[in-house]
């Protein structure tokens, strides 16, 4: 079939609309549309020449893997009703009474439902908006994959049964589409499984929820450079300098240069500068514990400028923060 090699203006405009629609499908946190998902999955079984499977709905992949670890051991029939209910209602982290020893073997899922939206969108879009590409039987099959993407989360098929997950109840991304949340989980499944992420980098929960409890020792001990950078950001560069035994290397009339030497990573170098304007503060109690100092009757805040590790003077660092060479910075000061 001849296919066009350019898009019309209307088709290009539609691409943007479609992309937004499919992003919303992939990031939906609505409860699953169970009738739609079951009909579509049953249709795929029919295409493969198989009868309708038995559906096991679970609140998320963690609960699903637990279920699969028991179902595919083929002992579902021999379990007590209490055991079955315990598995079907388990929430992550699982209680000690649940046997999770088999779960690790069953973490892989065949299909990702809404998280495979890119696949369905890619094959659906040109057929729908550019030119008819598929014979009726393939279009019918694609319709099922589209319906699944729009209706449920991860799923895995077996000969007689299929395990299907509810969609997560939280899914948040930053403006670049990376998993991110600055106060809570970026993903939380309905079975309790959570993922904490900072602009696409997975981090321990407390880095997000309780950054004030991070310690210098933990930052130093973290072997993953990306995670350590985020821990440092959450901890605060200025506080890190104060608490890590950073050395004051140099000082001049612009401020003081501090360096925290790190053996396996770039040094943290900052310039501490004093705000020229006093804060509207009347008593010492108001500023207790804050980073600043009294200059005669006025209280001034310190600001910390993170500068490149190659900087060797406070003046050079301040000039760098203005994006000008030191000589030019001197001229600015003079004029």
Partner 1 sequence: MVIGRSMAKTLMRPRLRLAASAPDERLVAITLWMVLVWEWEAFYSAYEETPW
**Binding to partner 1 (CB under 8 A): which residues in 90-119?**
100, 103-104, 107-108, 110-112, 115, 117-118
Residue 159 engages partner 1 in binding (rule: CB under 8 A):
yes
Q: Which of 13, 132, 177, 294 is close enough to bind partner 1 by CB under 8 A?
A: 177
* Residue placing its CB nearer to partner 1 in the complex, 156 or 315: 156
141 and 160 in contact (C-beta within 8 Å)? no
Nearest Cα residue to 241 out of 211, 212, 262, 218: 262
Q: Does 320 bind partner 1 (CB under 8 A)?
A: no
Q: Is the dihedral of CA 74, 102, 66, 28 positive or negative?
A: negative
- To partner 1, the closest distance from the beta carbon of 90 in angstroms equals 12
Return the residues of window 125-144 that contact partner 1 according to CB under 8 A. Answer: 125-126, 130, 133-135, 138, 141-142
At closest approach, how far in Å is the CB of 216 from partner 1?
26
Piece of the chain touching partner 1 by CB under 8 A; list 30-38, 123-131, 220-228, 266-274: 123-131
**Is residue 15 involved in binding partner 1 (CB under 8 A)?**
yes
Rounded to whole angstroms, the Cα distance separating 303 from 291 reads 8
Per-position DSSP letters for 82-96, written without gaps between them: HHHHHHHT--SSPPT
Collapsing DSSP to helix, strand or coil, 248 comes out as strand
152 near partner 1, rule: CB under 8 A: no
Q: How far apart are CA 333 and CA 330, in angstroms?
A: 5
How many residues can be counted in the chain? 335
Residue 80 binds partner 1, judged by CB under 8 A: no
Contact map string, positions 28 to 67, toward partner 1, x by CB under 8 A: ----------------xx-xx-x---x------xx--x--
Rounded alpha-carbon distances, angstroms, from residue 79 to 55, 62, 76, 218, 320? 18, 20, 5, 45, 69
CA separation, residue 225 to residues 144, 211, 232 (Å): 43, 17, 10
**Terminal-to-terminal C-alpha distance of the chain:** 71
Residue 326 within binding range of partner 1, rule CB under 8 A: no
Residues in contact with partner 1 by the rule CB under 8 A: 3-7, 15, 18-19, 22-23, 26, 44-45, 47-48, 50, 54, 61-62, 65, 71-72, 74, 76-77, 100, 103-104, 107-108, 110-112, 115, 117-118, 121-123, 125-126, 130, 133-135, 138, 141-142, 145, 156-162, 173, 177-179, 186-187, 193, 195, 197, 200-202
């Amino acid at each position: 079939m001849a296919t066009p090699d350019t898009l019309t203006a209307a088709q290009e405009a539609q691409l943007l609309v479609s992309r937004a629609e499919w992003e919303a499908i992939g990031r939906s946190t609505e409860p699953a549309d169970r009738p739609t998902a079951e009909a579509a999955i049953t249709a795929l079984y029919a295409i493969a020449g198989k009868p309708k499977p038995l559906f096991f709905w679970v609140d998320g992949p963690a609960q699903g893997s637990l279920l699969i670890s028991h179902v595919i051991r083929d002992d579902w029939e021999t379990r007590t009703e209490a055991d079955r209910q315990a598995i079907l209602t388990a929430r992550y982290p699982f209680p000690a009474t649940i046997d999770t020893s088999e779960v690790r073997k069953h973490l892989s899922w065949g299909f990702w439902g809404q998280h495979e939206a890119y696949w369905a969108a890619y094959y659906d879009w040109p057929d729908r908006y550019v030119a008819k590409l598929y014979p009726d039987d393939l279009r019918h099959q694609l319709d099922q994959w589209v319906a699944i993407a729009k209706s449920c989360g991860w799923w895995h098929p077996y000969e007689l049964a299929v395990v299907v997950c509810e969609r997560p109840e939280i899914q948040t991304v930053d403006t670049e589409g990376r998993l991110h949340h600055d106060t809570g989980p970026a993903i939380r499944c309905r079975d309790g499984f959570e993922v904490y992420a900072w602009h696409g980098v997975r981090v321990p929960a407390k880095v997000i929820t309780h950054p004030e409890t991070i310690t210098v020792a933990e930052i130093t001990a973290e072997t993953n450079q990306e995670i350590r950078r985020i821990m440092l950001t959450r901890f605060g560069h200025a506080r890190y300098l104060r608490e890590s035994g950073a050395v004051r290397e140099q000082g001049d009339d612009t401020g003081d240069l501090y360096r925290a030497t790190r053996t396996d990573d770039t040094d943290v170098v900052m310039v501490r500068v004093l705000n020229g304007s006093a804060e509207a503060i009347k008593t010492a109690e108001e500023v207790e514990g804050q980073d600043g100092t009294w200059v005669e009757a006025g209280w001034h805040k310190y600001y910390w400028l993170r500068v490149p590790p190659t900087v060797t003077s406070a003046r050079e660092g301040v000039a760098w923060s203005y994006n000008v060479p030191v000589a030019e910075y001197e001229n600015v000061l003079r004029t």
